[in-house]
Amino acid sequence: MDDKNICRSCIDCAARSCDGKSERHPDFCVSQGTEPDFREEIKSRYTDDPENSRIMKASAEIENDYYCRLTRVEETIEWAKKLGAKKIGIATCVGLLSESRMLAKILRSHGFEVYGVSCKVGEIPKTDIGIDKRCLAVGTNICDPIMQAELLEKEHTDINIVMGLCVGHDSLFYKYSHTITTTLVVKDRVLGNNPAAALYTAESYYKSKLFK
Ligand code: SF4
């Protein structure tokens, strides 16, 4: 796309004045373009909704109190404790069952009850829901994020954790999860579940692979 036709936003910004460290905003600053009423309305969603307030306060405290000191696994545990969660649901990719078993072991050692559901639960054939036959090459049955979410709801989990659900299957899990969900592992079959590595190397090794 021609540079002139790009609609500029935060991804085109180098000023980052919204982090409070600089007064310099770009002409297209998204933050400066918001109306005061809109900001107040958003603010009220954090203050007037008890659940949002609870989640935001807990998350801010975890960020502040353990900044650069705890791993994501540890932060997730502290966050769950702060929220008063007793029972944790794990929605796992069947390919990450070992990691999910380890996570469950760790969570149980902290006193949580844990219930996990793998993506192949229900064993619904792909062809039953109209998926193209060529997709059978990587497995007969669907990944079933809706059933994962429904089964975790039946278990009355307080919070859910996503462990490596596929691109798009994760979207359906988030859509149907009855409770708040955090993500611990993001699947990348090529990069050892570290999708950011493609971005770190996008101007070097992966340049020809990623750019059109
Ligand atoms: S809100 Fe403004 S200053 Fe902050 S990243 Fe976006 S454009 Fe940059």
Show the domains of the chain with their CATH numbers: 34-69 (no CATH), 71-212 (3.40.50.11840)
Half-sphere exposure at residue 13, Cβ-oriented, CA atoms within 13 angstroms:
18
Phi, psi of 9 (to 5 degrees): -150, -165
User: Which residue's CA is the closest to the ligand 1 atom numbered 6?
Assistant: 10
Q: What is the mean pLDDT of residues 137-154?
A: 98
Q: Between residues 4 and 61, which one has the greater pLDDT?
A: 61
* pLDDT (tens digit per residue) in 13-53: 988 889 887 778 999 999 999 999 999 999 999 999 999 99
Return the best residue to mutate from 6, 7, 31 for the ligand 1 pocket (most ligand atoms within 8 A of CB).
31
User: Which residue's CA is the closest to the ligand 1 atom numbered 1?
Assistant: 31
Residue 199: the pLDDT is 98
Entry pTM? 0.95
Residue 26 Cβ contacting ligand 1 at under 6 Å = yes
Residue 76 pLDDT exceeds 90: yes
* pLDDT (tens digit per residue) in 164-193: 999 999 999 999 999 999 999 999 999 999
Return the best residue to mutate from 11, 30, 38, 42 for the ligand 1 pocket (most ligand atoms within 8 A of CB).
30
Position in ligand 1 atom list of the atom nearest CA 28? 7
Residue 208: the pLDDT is 97
Residue 39 Cβ contacting ligand 1 at under 6 Å = no
Residue 189 Cβ contacting ligand 1 at under 6 Å = no
Residue 111 pLDDT exceeds 90: yes
Closest to 90 (Cα-Cα) out of 157, 174, 162: 162
Residue 1: the pLDDT is 63
163: Cβ contacts below 8 Å, ≥ 6 apart: 90, 91, 92, 93, 96, 99, 100, 103, 184, 185
Tell how far the Cα of 18 is from the centroid of ligand 1, in angstroms.
6
Residue 21: the pLDDT is 79
